[in-house]
Structure 1
């Protein structure tokens, strides 16, 4: 079988695993306090389920990188968002909207154009140790800048997650190709260093995405999906000598496909953000909170029975005339 077809098939299954993990992380983020630290996640079974799905997707992604270049494999990661549409809808018990289907169609069209423009040859070049360390340092600087306090923290954390994941994929390709070409020692200093960088960046990207999903699932996942292939493709084109088919002419379908994919991702993110806002459950604390009562001055007290509202009114004592057995208000004998 053609190496490019194997890379595409493995990438499709990997995208499905990543989509299931993203839905699980988003549901976990909705049930987690914003101030909860990363250590508290370790005690959640849902967190480990998401980690397992991400690990499975990562292994399939590594295998795809063995057979296809970054410019081919990484754009297929956008299918994670496409697969997350029906999975997210099913988890919330709703149907996929027309806007989501339009976004899915545009994303698929854009991916098809990008795949036609990308090179299909199996990768051979790898990053040197100075290049790998330089890429890691630049990535850390970008993550630090995006993680600073400011507006839209969810989208900035999502961009940082996509960048770290894309760089981790590029380093993983170097690790995979160098370890399987049998041209050098299996445990060289370069491979060990790259493996440590991959582990660190992969874990950082996972935690950053978990933080990003607290601000909304659709938009955050869209930013992660776009930032990932951009970062990886930049490394492939600049440092690994990867080329687009057709040379300069091949840039035309690549730009058209990228524009269509961006438009599709924007439609998906807006549609999913709207449906997420409509289906946000009422917290249990708010449902059990006592209703606010007001003085009875012609205003209807909502959320309380009328008898309960009366019971909360102050008791007024009215003086009564002193009477006898003859009845109240009647003077007694001798008076």
Structure 2
């Protein structure tokens, strides 16, 4: 099995775990099945572990975008768990996301590269500055309606950079062995992973204060875009076919992004619908279960999205 195939397989397994964790968390949120929390936590940790293991085997331009598969897989898994039909919009979103990710797989080179120590330092400074600028206005401020989007973007940047740091630390450690564990090339990126991951979680929580759909879509898109930019500009990742391959990959990324938006943003429309007029005839207890299921599932997916680092 080639390194690229292994990276794709591990990323797919990671996405399956994240999606299953999201469904388990959804059941906790909608049915108060508190006994399932340990299963959701275990699946989330397993998904994060598989993602970390995949990073040394594939370039950031491939491994990080494949995290969006968790959104795709959660749709049919959630529908099966609640015996409901997948909506046409969800099918379109899933199809576009899969089509775009397939294009990225076919155009991505098979080699994972590593950041130099200087690139690591520069990236750390640029990341801190970017996050500081995006969060200059508090998430709860009424002076702007884009606070959730800015905090979502900051969260995506933190997790994308965190994945790059994780990949660099693991690759350096593989090259040098345990004797290189305390060298700056390994220690610096490894140490930076901690504040990036914790910061990403806190930023995402702040982003969702004003609503889930748009900030979640922003974080889901900015995360792989940041990692891909790092891979291309700093780590030396390349696409197959030169300029033509790069254009195809860009188009594929746009298609996948559109799919992610279709999968995530419908929750905003569902939430915005007015409450139905009460009927004289008693309605079944779970009449609005589908709408609550969709919102709860998207809310639970924010944890897997963060863990991609």
Under TM normalisation by the shorter chain, which class is it? 0.7 to 0.9
Given the alignment, which residue of 137, 158, 167 partners 2:125?
Answer: 137
Q: TM-score, normalised by structure 1?
A: 0.70
Q: Distance in 1 between matches of 2:227 and 2:68?
A: 13
Greater Cα radius of gyration, structure 1 or 2:
1
Output aligned runs, 1:1-335, within 5 Å. 1-20=1-20, 52-87=42-77, 89=79, 94-121=84-111, 123=112, 125-147=113-135, 148-149=137-138, 150-182=144-176, 185-277=180-272, 279=291
Name structure 2 gaps, 5 residues minimum. 139-143, 274-290, 294-309
Cα deviations across residues 275-296 of structure 1 (Å, max 9, x unaligned)? 4556359xxxxxxxxxxxxxxx
Whether contact under 8 Å (2:114, 2:235) holds in the other structure is yes
How far is 1:201 from its partner?
0.5
Paired residue secondary structure (1:126): coil
Change (3 A) 1:199 1:54: farther
Whether contact under 8 Å (1:218, 1:270) holds in the other structure is yes
Cα deviations across residues 295-316 of structure 1 (Å, max 9, x unaligned)? xxxxxxxxxxxxxxxxxxxxxx
How far is 1:48 from its partner?
7.9
Q: Distance in 1 between matches of 2:211 and 2:36?
A: 18
Q: Distance in 1 between matches of 2:37 and 2:120?
A: 30
How far is 1:168 from its partner?
0.5
How far is 1:242 from its partner?
1.0
How far is 1:227 from its partner?
0.7
Paired residue secondary structure (1:156): helix
Q: Distance in 2 between matches of 1:171 and 1:232?
A: 10
Q: Distance in 2 between matches of 1:144 and 1:138?
A: 10
How far is 1:133 from its partner?
2.2
Cα deviations across residues 226-260 of structure 1 (Å, max 9, x unaligned)? 11111111111111111110111112311221221
Root mean square deviation, CA, Å = 3.0
Tell me which residue corresponds to 1:307. Answer: none
Whether contact under 8 Å (2:4, 2:57) holds in the other structure is yes
Name structure 1 gaps, 5 residues minimum. 31-43, 282-335
Change (3 A) 1:50 1:2: same
How far is 1:138 from its partner?
1.5
Greater alpha carbon shift after TM alignment, 160-169 vs 209-218: 209-218
Tell me which residue corresponds to 2:300. Answer: none
Q: Which has the higher helix share?
A: 2
Higher RCO (CA 8 Å, separation ≥ 6 residues): 2
Greater alpha carbon shift after TM alignment, 178-187 vs 192-201: 178-187
